[in-house]
Amino acid sequence: MELESTISLEVFFVSDRTGITAEALGRSLLTQFNKDDCRYTMLPYIDTEEKLSTVIQKIHAAKSDNRQVIVFSTLASKEHRQRLINEDFFVLDLFATCLPPLQSAMHRHSSPAIGQTHGMGDQNQYLARMDAVNFTLNVDDGLRTKDYEHADLILAGVSRSGKTPTCLYLAMQFGIRAANYPLVEEDLDKGQLPEVLKPWKEKLYGLVIDPDSLQKIRQSRMPDSRYASIEQCRKEIRQADTLYRQEKIPVVESSSMSVEELATTLMQKAGLQRQY
Amino acid sequence: MELESTISLEVFFVSDRTGITAEALGRSLLTQFNKDDCRYTMLPYIDTEEKLSTVIQKIHAAKSDNRQVIVFSTLASKEHRQRLINEDFFVLDLFATCLPPLQSAMHRHSSPAIGQTHGMGDQNQYLARMDAVNFTLNVDDGLRTKDYEHADLILAGVSRSGKTPTCLYLAMQFGIRAANYPLVEEDLDKGQLPEVLKPWKEKLYGLVIDPDSLQKIRQSRMPDSRYASIEQCRKEIRQADTLYRQEKIPVVESSSMSVEELATTLMQKAGLQRQY
């Protein structure tokens, strides 16, 4: 929670749908400025005159002498975006800015339908995506290894290296059936690939993490245990690294990457595209 | 997999990072045109001259007499985006299009840093987000109800109504600690709120689904079972609806909404903003 007085930029994301695209756009652009005193507010489902009026009032109320307002919007209704743009604050509307050049390129006019980026789309595509999430949950953490046959990729790594969030993101965002296998001490001490992974080497990837990050994560989970000791973390990581190298398993580095970056890097390595 | 000959629009998302923002932007804009013969290709991590050259060759190769090319890009390097824009295909670069007006509004120049929208950002923020995912997995499907105290919201609903993907999306995308509770027959037959939910009514939401959608989902999981019969689905949904109404629990409708829409609608109802 920021102190009211330290906020110098109020950023609003206004959309007639979820606002996820407006937010991604706005945050991406703002990374180009060194501003860390922003407050972000999402205002989704602004699809009537009345809701727009309320939003406009709210934005005006946030303005003050030493506080600037920036609005990122995705409003498919031409009337709504015109109304917002005419207000006395800065608005960058995705459709107003980007549709005209795209229209020229496409040699046709856009229809004023409400954007459906994050809408249901095709019901079967939606079910396929939810199936990927269920698949990933069902084979999480080394469960049901007989289902590896149906996985698009398998991610191996030591405990708490970030396998589950990465696999869930792959399933949720891209519809990828991502299994994960925890390399436990028993596997690592054998110094060879666990039997259940051997048939699937061509879709197997290894997660690498630095010992200090791993120690921090394990420590918050099981404070002062052998499991969370820096010696144990170093040993497991060294053994895992040796195994990956020996078996020529491609690796991704989880300590320096976000879950989005891990997921897209894995897709790139595996030559996978969005499945829905 | 589409037949090569039916593709009339090749869409590329080029980025020096994950490409997730370029993709969201591009897909959102393309919903304004009625094109269903598109092929989408993500080209992430294009951060060197060499990689850009390879990408430009690839895009040129996709062009043909009856096939148009559209490129959406987010390239923070001015040189790289200038090079791409100068090519003989349509490019809509997020930074080239949106930074100039934003710069004027911000009264300062942007720094040419590589975008970090989906980067690690602050390590503690990242851990907080992953904690939300772990929390959500730990309290999934009615497990560990004693942790409800720490939940930002609790989602109730009948089996297979979409609770788990919605909660995972809330955690992954917004860092919300979302618990879910399955309303089983025993709960529904009692006709009152289960004991474990009673203390948490102010953060409790109900998931509603139409019987046909539920039946379809259950049928694919347990074909021709009593559980998947339309009568059983209708009965459970009717009982759940009565319970929500009687206890004045706000509801969201899962049959007509995507997981993104469900998540943002729930956040709006609960007055929650992104937690990281």
Query: Can you give chain A as a three-state secondary structure string?
Result: CCCHHHCCEEEEEEECCCCHHHHHHHHHHHCCCCCCCEEEEEECCCCCHHHHHHHHHHHHHHCECCEEEEEEEECCCHHHHHHHHCCCCEEEEHHHHHHHHHHHHHCCCCCCCCCCCCCCCCHHHHHHHHHHHHHHHHCHHHCCHHHHHHCCEEEEECCCCCHHHHHHHHHHHHCCCEEEEECCHHHHHHCCCCHHHHHHHHHEEEEECCHHHHHHHHHHHCCCCCCCCHHHHHHHHHHHHHHHHHCCCCEEECCCCCHHHHHHHHHHHHCCCCCC
Instruction: Choose the mutation target among A13, A28, A68, A276 for the interface with B, i.e. most B CBs under 10 Å.
Output: A28
User: Does A138 contact chain B (CB < 8 Å)?
Assistant: no
A42 touches chain B (CB under 8 A): yes
Distance from CA of A56 to the nearest CA of B (A): 17
If one compares B129 and A156, the residue with the highest pLDDT of the two is: A156
Please check whether residue B173 touches A, CB under 8 A: yes
pLDDT attached to residue B171: 94
pLDDT tens, residue by residue, B217-259: 899 888 999 999 999 999 999 999 999 999 999 999 988 888 9
What confidence score (pLDDT) does residue B1 get?
Answer: 45
Between A and B, how many CB-CB pairs are < 8 A? Answer: 203
Q: Is A269 on the interface with B (CB under 8 A)?
A: no
Four-way CATH pick for A4-106: 3.90.1420, 3.30.390, 2.60.40, 3.40.50? 3.40.50
Q: What is the pLDDT of residue B144?
A: 86
Q: What band does B119 get if pLDDT is binned at 50, 70 and 90?
A: low
> Measured between beta carbons, which residues in chain A are less than 8 angstroms from residue B122?
none
Amino acid A109: pLDDT: 56
Q: Do A44 and B268 touch (CB under 8 A)?
A: yes
pLDDT at B224: 92
Q: Which residue type occupies A202?
A: E
pLDDT, residue B204, reads 98
Q: Which of B2-6, B33-37, B56-60, B137-141 has the highest mean pLDDT?
A: B56-60
> B137 at the A interface (CB within 8 A)?
yes
Provide the ipTM.
0.80
Residue-by-residue pLDDT tens, chain A, 276 positions? 445 557 789 999 999 999 998 998 898 888 888 766 889 999 999 999 999 999 999 999 998 877 889 999 999 899 999 999 999 999 999 989 998 888 888 876 565 555 555 555 566 677 778 889 989 988 887 888 889 999 999 999 999 999 999 999 999 989 999 999 999 999 999 999 999 999 999 999 999 999 999 999 899 888 999 999 999 999 999 999 999 999 999 999 988 888 999 999 999 999 998 887
Q: Is the pLDDT of residue B276 over 80?
A: no
Cβ contact, residue pair B261, A25, below 8 Å: no
Fold agreement (A4-106, A123-270): yes
Bridge partner list, B71: B12, B91
- Cross-chain Cβ contact B42/A168 below 8 Å: no
Q: In this complex, do A25 and B21 lie within 8 Å of one another by their Cβ atoms?
A: yes
| Nearest C-alpha in A relative to B116 | A31
A168 → closest Cβ in B94, B172, B263: B172
Per-domain boundaries in chain B: 4-106, 123-270
Which pTM was predicted?
0.80
* pLDDT for the residue numbered B274: 84
Round to whole Å and give the CA distance between A196 and A207.
18
Q: Which residue has the higher pLDDT, B141 or B6?
A: B141
Q: What is the nearest CA distance from B240 to chain A, expressed in angstroms?
A: 23
Of B44, B120, B220, the CB nearest to A268: B44
DSSP B143-163: --GGGGGG-SEEEEESTTSSH
Binding-face residues of A in 93-112 toward B, CB within 8 A:
94-95, 97-99, 101-102, 105-106, 108, 110-112
B40 touches chain A (CB under 8 A): yes
For B89-101, the pLDDT digits (tens) are 999 999 899 988 8
Closest listed residue to residue B244, CA positions, set B177, B155, B179, B161: B155
pLDDT value, residue B142: 80
Chain A interface includes B162 (CB < 8 A): yes
Contact B108 A267 (CB under 8 A): no
pLDDT given for residue A119 in this prediction: 55
Residue A105 burial class via C-beta count within 10 angstroms: exposed 0-12, middle 13-18, buried 19 and up: middle
Say yes or no for a CB contact (<8 Å) between B95 and A273: no
On chain B, the residues whose CB falls within 8 A of the CB of A41 are 273
Q: Which fold has domain A123-270?
A: Rossmann fold (3.40.50)
Mean pLDDT, chain B, whole residue set: 88
- pLDDT of the residue at A215: 93
Does an H or E element contain B270, and which?
A: helix B259-270
Interface touch A45/B108, C-beta < 8 Å: no
